Amino acid sequence: MLNVVIFGPPGSGKGTQSENIIEKYNLAHISTGDLLRAEISGHTQLGTIAKSYIDKGDLVPDEIIIGMIDNKIESLAHTNGVIFDGFPRTEAQATALDELLHEHKAKVSVMVNLEVPKDELVERLLKRGEISGRSDDNLETIQKRISVYETQTKPVIDFYKKNGVYKPIKGVGSVQNIFVAISEAIDSVK
Ligand code: AMP
């Protein structure tokens, strides 16, 4: 299996680049943000809990996220591979992902980190908010999400550096040029 973690702060282009990667490498997609938003639209109990965190810009608790991923990986164990988008966001999640993949004799093949300066992130997310209708794409929540990224999510970089699968990519410029750099990183581990 080719398992790719696409990583970076909110607004770094993970969703956009995931679409390109899925098409080129024929991977299944797990976006924890999309899974949570589906729970919210379905008015499930999990959705109600998740919404209370998402609307504040906080992370949804690890147990909820890891449980969701566990269910998904089970169903995708026999695919070509998976792109993990917006997950893992904490060291506990990164450890859990390693364990879950290990149960299927698989591992994270590469972790692609999209590097984008903070000013650009805020600008992109505000612009997205005008069309996305996402309740968390407003200035106050955007700033909170970026600060949560800095404190809780950024340490995940060191986890993958230690694993030897870390690939930093400049996430500014044209979508196409960024995708070329991502493809080179993925091809280097295939
Ligand atoms: P995203 O669509 O990836 O930007 O995620 C939107 C929001 O969903 C985040 O700000 C978090 O509140 C929540 N979320 C998504 N993925 C995770 C995760 N892996 N761990 C915790 N919370 C998450």
Rounded percentage of the chain residues whose pLDDT exceeds 90: 96
The question of whether 37 is a catalytic residue gets the answer no
SS3 assignment for 122-164: HHHHHHHHHHHCCCCCCHHHHHHHHHHHHHHHCCHHHHHHHHC
Residues within 6 Å of ligand 1 by CB: 10, 32-33, 36, 53-54, 58-60, 65, 86-87, 89, 93, 136, 145
CA of 32 to the centre of ligand 1 (A): 6
Global pTM reads: 0.97
Which residue shows structure tokens 């609307």? 55
Which residue, judged by its Cα, is nearest atom 15 of ligand 1? 33
- Which ligand 1 atom is nearest residue 90's CA? 20
Taking residues 173-190, what's their average pLDDT? 97
All structural domains of the chain: 2-183 (3.40.50.300)
Mean per-residue pLDDT of the chain: 96
Q: How many angstroms from the chain centroid is the CA of residue 145?
A: 13
Q: What is the pLDDT of residues 112-144, one digit of tens each?
A: 999 999 999 999 999 999 999 899 999 999 999
pLDDT, residue 140, reads 97
Q: What is the pLDDT of residues 54-80, one digit of tens each?
A: 999 999 999 999 999 998 998 998 899
